[in-house]
Amino acid sequence: MIWRPKIRDVATISLANEERYAGLGPAFALPAWMALTIGDVFDDVRNTILAIAVDKKKAMEIFEEEYVKVLDSISGVSKKSVYRQLRLSAKRLKAEVPTRMPIDKAPYVVVMGEIFVRRDAFSNQKIAERLAANGFVTRISPVIEWVYYLSFMTRNKLQVANYTLAGWLEFHISEMVMAHIEKKVKKILAKSGLYELDLINIDDIVKYFQNILPKNLKGEPGLITGIMMRDALDKYAGVINIGPFGCMPVRFTEAIASNNTDIQTKKNSYETTGVIFRENGFHENERIPFLTIEADGNPYPQLLEARFESFCLQATRIAKKQGKEVKMVVR
């Protein structure tokens, strides 16, 4: 990219995973973090619209209009501050996007796995729309979750960050600022009625997988297993693990998680953390609906389509036990 075109007087900077991609300074980091947080929440809002909006087409038009306004605020094109625009957008979405049910009555399926495939609609074959057609609101693991996890690994010495004293000071201050921005953005957009407040707590997630995997096993497998043990059946009616074809972490996660979907393992995870486990109507033979998808850019094969339909049926049964309303959307 630089050598072949013979571009002169150019230097490269590589942002390190161990240092949480820091290096471009607060003037870049703060707006970037705000943009990532807003992007994650807007993605959740969009997935809610796909599943429970009365008029999906009109709702998506309003959503796109408000999304552009927020982007203009972030980039400085609009004179409105980002938080003010978020409040205006949340207010309009609340007023002009009626839903077929309150969001707390909507059933959820969580999609986790490789960070690009789970977020890219082309790569995952529009998994959110597929689930919406079956009556589910899709919750895709946020991008900022990984950044928080990097902080967790640094704090717990699972990776070594090459920080100076000033760098460590910036690290601890930035953690507080990041949490403040996340909470503020999410509380504002929760007022739209299309998003439920859900703050990320990596320390809590890690507690729930330590009876299955060691804490020093870094990466997505632990996060996925922890969220599944903590939230499946209680919050989510099903769990999807997705990634590119042949991805080792995705297959490792499937090998671990698919063999720990029973109520007893979930109960053991709760006991490990010291939290009281409540079965809430689920019997001991109940299993968490779990599906692994390996995407290679092609349409899903017939066998995977059949497994997906079976997964949706299992998740529907779980959602009804949760007291949720499962209403399929006509495409």
**Pair (291, 172) in one structural domain:** no
Instruction: Please tell me the distance from the alpha carbon of residue 164 to that of residue 51, in angstroms, as a whole number.
Output: 48
> Per-residue confidence at 19, pLDDT binned at 50, 70, 90?
low
User: Coil, helix or strand for 161?
Assistant: coil
Same domain? 85 vs 109? no
Q: How confident is the model at residue 18 (pLDDT cuts 50, 70, 90)?
A: low
Q: Is the pTM of this model over 0.85?
A: yes
Comparing 137-146, 154-163, 243-252, 291-300, the range with the smallest average pLDDT is 154-163
My answer on whether 43 and 129 are in the same domain is no
Domain boundary among 153, 175, 199: 199
Q: In Å, how far are 31, 64, 228, 297 from 122, measured between CA atoms?
A: 27, 18, 25, 7
Query: Minimum mean pLDDT among 88-92, 143-147, 155-159: which range?
Result: 155-159
Per-residue pLDDT tens digits for 257-310: 989 999 999 999 999 898 888 887 888 888 999 999 998 878 889 999 999 999
Q: Is residue 37 part of a domain?
A: yes
Nearest to 229 by CA among 262, 278, 202: 262
Residues whose CB is less than 8 angstroms from the CB of residue 97 and which lie 6 or more positions away in sequence, other chains included: 49, 53, 59, 62, 63, 192, 193, 194
pLDDT at residue 161 is higher than 80: no
Q: For residue 124, is pLDDT > 70?
A: yes
Q: Quickly list H helices, the chain.
A: 26-52, 56-75, 82-96, 115-119, 127-133, 143-155, 165-190, 202-207, 220-231, 248-257, 263-273, 302-321
Is the same domain home to 281 and 229?
Answer: yes
Question: Which residue range is the domain that position 53 belongs to?
Answer: 22-98+161-199
pLDDT score at 306 = 95
Residue type, 151: S
- Flag whether pLDDT at 331 surpasses 60: no
Query: Which of 304, 205, 300, 212 lies closest to 253 in space, CA to CA?
Result: 212
Asked if residue 138 and residue 210 are part of one domain, the reply reads yes
Residue 68 lies in a domain: yes
Inside any domain, residue 3: no
Whether residues 249 and 304 share a domain: the answer is yes
In this structure, are 61 and 182 located in the same domain? yes
| DSSP label of 53 | B
Distance CA(42)–CA(68), nearest Å, equals 11
One-letter amino acid at 199 equals: L
* Total domains present in the chain: 2
Q: Which residue, among 23, 120, 32, has the nearest Cα to 74 in the 3D structure?
A: 32
Are residues 112 and 237 both part of a single domain?
yes
